[in-house]
Amino acid sequence: MTDRPPDQDDQATSPGLTVPVPLGDRSYAIRIVSGDPIGFGPFARSSLDASRAGRGCRVALVVTDANVAALASRHAEALAGQGIAAEVAAVPPGEGSKSLDQAAVLLDRLIAMKADRHAAVVAVGGGVVGDLAGFVAATYARGVPLLMAPTTLLAQVDSSVGGKVAVNRPAAKNIVGAFHQPVGVWIDTDSLESLPPRELRCGMAEVVKYGVILDASFFDEVERTADAMLALEPGVVRRVVARCCELKAEVVSQDEREQTGLRAVLNFGHTIGHAIEAVAGYGGPFQHGEAVSAGMVAEARLAERLGWIDDSLADRLSNLLRLLGLPTSAPGLDPDALLDAMTLDKKNRGGRIRFVLPRRLGLVELTDAPTEADLRVVLGELTSPAV
């Protein structure tokens, strides 16, 4: 992957940054600002007008949750100012809303609105809202325009970009889904100021992931700016969010639908992380970023057992995650249950569990090389009670 352009630091101190996602006729822009409450309306209109279906948009359903319903109402007002009549639908906060039942409620809402194929779905919230709203946008009338306005760090740097939308089933996360690119992503980092500290830390797990998988110098930067990120210094936040979006956009533009295997690199920490979520229970003791944090450490240890890396990488990773207040283990979970949950991972092939493991900092590889014995050792360490 390419290094950050030389002028990125200068750009990050400006009022806003734009990161393009080049996907031919599905290309779109990610706009990153800090405190621009009036900018969303014009951005939404221009993003919709750049798409064939969006040019006729006069109706929108704004999907949100109770935590950010006030912000979603302001987005609806901004849409009204652009000639788009918007209704707000608030779902209960939490992973439990990412379900087929909740999707059906939203689909029925669109039907009641008499929404046609030019109606837009706007997601204002975190990853759950984005995935759910995106799934609804992908399935209503076989696909309607989607706008993302992520309000959590995790959603801003990861789930809002790239077009993967899904809902959960009790046994597996994100198992029912689609590829449906947004027409635009609006990121106002001021939305992070009201984020609970735990949610902010969860987003940092995905930030760290980008450094491990694609950009060693970015990992260095995250180590240096960890305190500034947690303090939400605007210039630092914009720069970090923009770099994550750049890295993900580059991967997505080369492997939009996971056909070449390149996009799988974004799943470092997620094979074990998703298993932790499933076994612990969605909405349980591990939020997504926390599960990914512990999963990254465990998968780095797997790479150690294969002889791909020495223990310095996993130790350095663990130290950074602890500095950010994130877990590096999942004590008390059943290793057998974790192993069973991993058999449902979407990366698997031929009945073999596949992992994204580091070869070095900034370079990872998709592999099924770990044996069951390797897994049992690492899962045993992962779930052992803290000393």
**CA angle centred on 172, ends 166 and 177, rounded to 5°:** 20
pTM given for the model: 0.90
Q: Which residues of the chain are in CATH 1.20.1090.10 domains?
A: 268-383
> Cα–Cα distance between 35 and 33 in angstroms, integer?
6
> Which pair of structure tokens corresponds to residue 155?
């959603």
Q: Which residues of the chain are in CATH 3.40.50.1970 domains?
A: 8-253
User: Domain 8-253 has what CATH class?
Assistant: alpha beta
Torsion-angle region of 97 (φ positive above 0: left; ψ -120 to 50: alpha; else: beta): alpha
In DSSP terms, 92 is beta-bridged to none
Q: Tell me the pLDDT of the chain (387 aa) as tens digits.
A: 444 333 334 333 346 899 999 999 999 999 999 999 899 999 999 999 999 999 999 999 999 999 999 999 999 999 999 999 999 999 999 889 999 999 999 999 999 999 999 999 999 999 999 999 999 999 999 999 999 999 999 999 999 999 999 999 987 878 999 999 999 999 999 999 999 999 999 999 999 999 999 999 999 999 999 999 999 999 999 999 999 999 999 999 999 998 888 999 999 999 999 999 989 987 789 998 999 999 999 999 999 999 999 999 999 999 999 999 999 999 999 999 999 999 988 788 888 999 999 999 999 999 999 999 999 999 999 999 864
> Cα–Cα distance between 316 and 327 in angstroms, integer?
14
Single out the catalytic residue among 67, 168, 174, 267.
Answer: 267
Single out the catalytic residue among 239, 263, 346, 354.
Answer: 263
Judge whether 118 is annotated as a binding position: no
In DSSP terms, 65 is beta-bridged to 91
> Which pair of structure tokens corresponds to residue 31?
């706009």
> Cα–Cα distance between 99 and 83 in angstroms, integer?
31
Judge whether 152 is annotated as a binding position: yes
> Cα–Cα distance between 26 and 244 in angstroms, integer?
20
Residue 142 annotated among the catalytic residues of the structure: yes
* Nearest C-alpha neighbor of 201 from the set 50, 328, 301: 328
Single out the catalytic residue among 164, 239, 243, 301.
Answer: 164
> Which pair of structure tokens corresponds to residue 118?
């030019």
Residue 274 annotated among the catalytic residues of the structure: yes
Judge whether 98 is annotated as a binding position: no
> Cα–Cα distance between 90 and 76 in angstroms, integer?
12
User: Domain 268-383 has what CATH class?
Assistant: mainly alpha
> Cα–Cα distance between 32 and 324 in angstroms, integer?
23
Single out the catalytic residue among 98, 118, 288, 354.
Answer: 288
Helices (H) and strands (E) in the chain, counts: 14, 11
> Which pair of structure tokens corresponds to residue 270?
């997620």
Give yes or no for a contact between 264 and 347, defined as CB atoms under 8 angstroms apart: yes
**28-56 residues labelled b (16+ CB within 10 A) or e (exposed):** bbbbbbbebeebbbebbbebbeebebbee
Judge whether 206 is annotated as a binding position: yes
> Cα–Cα distance between 361 and 245 in angstroms, integer?
19
Residue 198 annotated among the catalytic residues of the structure: no
Give yes or no for a contact between 374 and 306, defined as CB atoms under 8 angstroms apart: yes
